[in-house]
Amino acid sequence: MFGKKKQPPLTPPPGLGKEDIAIEKSICTGEGIIGFRDPKTKKLLQAVAARTPEEIAEFYHSYGYEPPKDQKPL
Protein backbone atom coordinates (compact mmCIF):
# COMPACT_ATOMS: atom_id res chain seq x y z
CA MET A 1 0.00 0.00 0.00
CA PHE A 2 2.76 2.45 0.91
CA GLY A 3 5.53 0.84 -1.15
CA LYS A 4 7.59 2.44 -3.86
CA LYS A 5 5.65 3.88 -6.75
CA LYS A 6 6.64 2.17 -9.98
CA GLN A 7 8.31 4.69 -12.27
CA PRO A 8 7.87 4.52 -16.04
CA PRO A 9 11.03 3.40 -17.86
CA LEU A 10 13.57 6.06 -18.79
CA THR A 11 14.06 6.89 -22.47
CA PRO A 12 17.40 5.93 -24.06
CA PRO A 13 19.16 8.40 -26.35
CA PRO A 14 17.57 8.61 -29.83
CA GLY A 15 18.50 5.71 -32.08
CA LEU A 16 20.12 3.68 -29.28
CA GLY A 17 18.81 0.58 -27.53
CA LYS A 18 19.75 -2.37 -25.37
CA GLU A 19 22.42 -3.54 -27.81
CA ASP A 20 24.24 -0.19 -27.36
CA ILE A 21 24.69 -0.51 -23.59
CA ALA A 22 28.36 -0.73 -22.64
CA ILE A 23 30.42 -0.89 -19.46
CA GLU A 24 33.79 0.81 -19.04
CA LYS A 25 36.14 0.13 -16.16
CA SER A 26 38.90 2.46 -14.99
CA ILE A 27 42.35 0.87 -15.00
CA CYS A 28 43.47 3.14 -12.14
CA THR A 29 40.57 3.00 -9.70
CA GLY A 30 38.68 -0.07 -10.87
CA GLU A 31 35.42 1.88 -10.84
CA GLY A 32 32.97 0.99 -13.57
CA ILE A 33 30.49 3.11 -15.47
CA ILE A 34 27.58 1.93 -17.61
CA GLY A 35 25.78 3.83 -20.34
CA PHE A 36 24.79 3.86 -24.00
CA ARG A 37 27.77 3.86 -26.41
CA ASP A 38 27.22 6.17 -29.38
CA PRO A 39 28.46 4.21 -32.42
CA LYS A 40 29.68 7.38 -34.17
CA THR A 41 31.58 9.11 -31.36
CA LYS A 42 32.29 6.00 -29.22
CA LYS A 43 31.34 8.03 -26.11
CA LEU A 44 29.12 6.79 -23.30
CA LEU A 45 25.86 8.70 -23.04
CA GLN A 46 23.67 8.84 -19.91
CA ALA A 47 26.48 7.08 -18.02
CA VAL A 48 26.25 6.27 -14.32
CA ALA A 49 28.63 4.65 -11.85
CA ALA A 50 28.16 0.91 -11.40
CA ARG A 51 30.09 -0.86 -8.65
CA THR A 52 28.12 -4.09 -8.34
CA PRO A 53 26.21 -6.48 -10.60
CA GLU A 54 23.04 -5.29 -8.86
CA GLU A 55 23.70 -1.70 -9.97
CA ILE A 56 24.20 -2.93 -13.53
CA ALA A 57 20.88 -4.79 -13.39
CA GLU A 58 19.22 -1.66 -11.95
CA PHE A 59 20.48 0.37 -14.94
CA TYR A 60 18.95 -2.13 -17.38
CA HIS A 61 15.66 -2.22 -15.45
CA SER A 62 15.46 1.59 -15.33
CA TYR A 63 15.22 1.57 -19.15
CA GLY A 64 12.79 -1.37 -19.24
CA TYR A 65 15.37 -3.94 -20.37
CA GLU A 66 16.31 -7.30 -18.87
CA PRO A 67 20.02 -7.56 -17.99
CA PRO A 68 22.03 -10.23 -19.81
CA LYS A 69 22.25 -13.58 -18.01
CA ASP A 70 25.99 -13.91 -18.69
CA GLN A 71 26.93 -10.50 -17.19
CA LYS A 72 30.49 -10.56 -15.85
CA PRO A 73 31.06 -9.04 -12.40
CA LEU A 74 32.95 -5.75 -12.24
Report pLDDT for 38.
95
Q: Dihedral through CA 44, CA 49, CA 55, CA 58, nearest 10? A: -50
φ/ψ of residue 53, rounded to 5: -60, -30
pLDDT 10s digits, 16-74: 999 999 999 988 888 899 999 999 999 999 999 998 889 999 999 999 999 988 766 66
Whether the predicted model's global pTM rises above the 0.85 cut: no
For the chain, the domains span 18-62
- In this structure, the chain runs to a length of 74
CB 13 within 8 A of CB 36: yes
CB 74 within 8 A of CB 55: no
